[in-house]
Structure 1
Amino acid sequence: MYDAELMAVATGAAGTLVAAIAASGAEKMRLKVAHFFRRANLDQRRAAAQAVNDTAAQLTSPTPEAQALAATAWAQLLARYLAEHRDAMSEVDELAVPTPPASKVWNQSNTGTGTFIGGDVRGGMTLNYGGTPDGAH
């Protein structure tokens, strides 16, 4: 059996991970899960990848029962992994942090004569909606 600290971490991370899969989708979370389970053996990595798919399928109709079942499955998977890889405990919080949405960039080029907002505009303008001011990710 696992110790209380390990189970508390695994259970908390499992619930948050299920919520992140529901919010961000399986595709975005699959990469985070794969990174987290990078120390695992091949069978554990396959089980984690399958768990992402199973969770996404269970959450197509997100009932409290489906979420609880998914969270229980993740808690068990995470507890087994953390028992073997205690150094991964410090990374659990990063696993379930939602991925920020990708920024959307529009380019507008104004040419010609006439008055645009606030005067003449020459050249172009880039709007970066949802990203960082400098466009870095």
Structure 2
Amino acid sequence: MYDAELMAVATGAAGTLVAAIATSGSEKMRLKVGRFFRRAAPDQQRAAAQAVDDTAAQLTSLSPEAQALAATAWVQLIAHYLDEHRDAMSEVDELAVPDLPVSNVWNQHNTGTGTFIGGDVHGGVTFNYGGASDGGR
């Protein structure tokens, strides 16, 4: 049996991980889970990767029961891992922190003379697709 602190951490991480798999997708979360379980034996690493796929499959039903089953499986997997690798306790928060969206930025600058409406045109535009808002600028 695991101690209360370990179970509390594992339970919190499992619930957050299930929610992250539901919102971010299994591909993205498989990378995070792989980084977290890097100290584990190869069979435990494979089990964690398979658990990501299993969780994603369970969540297609969107039922609360499926989410509860997935979270229970993750609690056991995370608790077992943390029991063997106590130094990973400080890293469990990384499973809960969402990755910031990747931003694609394009800059276009226009200058020239000729047949522009209103004369010469000078200026540019920046597209920040998928990134954080910069306050309306």
**TM-score range, shorter-chain basis?**
0.7 to 0.9
- Listed one character per residue, the Cα deviations across residues 60-85 of structure 1 (whole Å, up to 9, x for unaligned) are 12110000000000000000000000
Matched, 1:130 2:127: no
Task: Determine the C-alpha separation between the residues in 1 that align with 2:77 and 2:103.
Answer: 33
8 Å Cα contact 1:28/1:99 also seen in 2: no
> Residue 73 of structure 2 aligns with which residue?
73
8 Å Cα contact 1:18/1:70 also seen in 2: yes
Please report the TM-score for the alignment, with normalisation by the length of structure 1. Answer: 0.84
Q: What root-mean-square deviation, in Å, do the aligned CA atoms of Structure 1 and Structure 2 show?
A: 2.1
8 Å Cα contact 1:107/1:126 also seen in 2: yes
Aligned AA for 1:36? F
- Runs of 4+ deviating beyond 4 Å: none
Please report the TM-score for the alignment, with normalisation by the length of structure 2. Answer: 0.84
Aligned AA for 1:47? A
Gaps of 5+ in 2: none
Map 1:21-100; keep pairs closer than 5 Å. Answer: 21-100=21-100
Rg (Cα) greater in structure: 2
SS of aligned partner of 1:98: coil
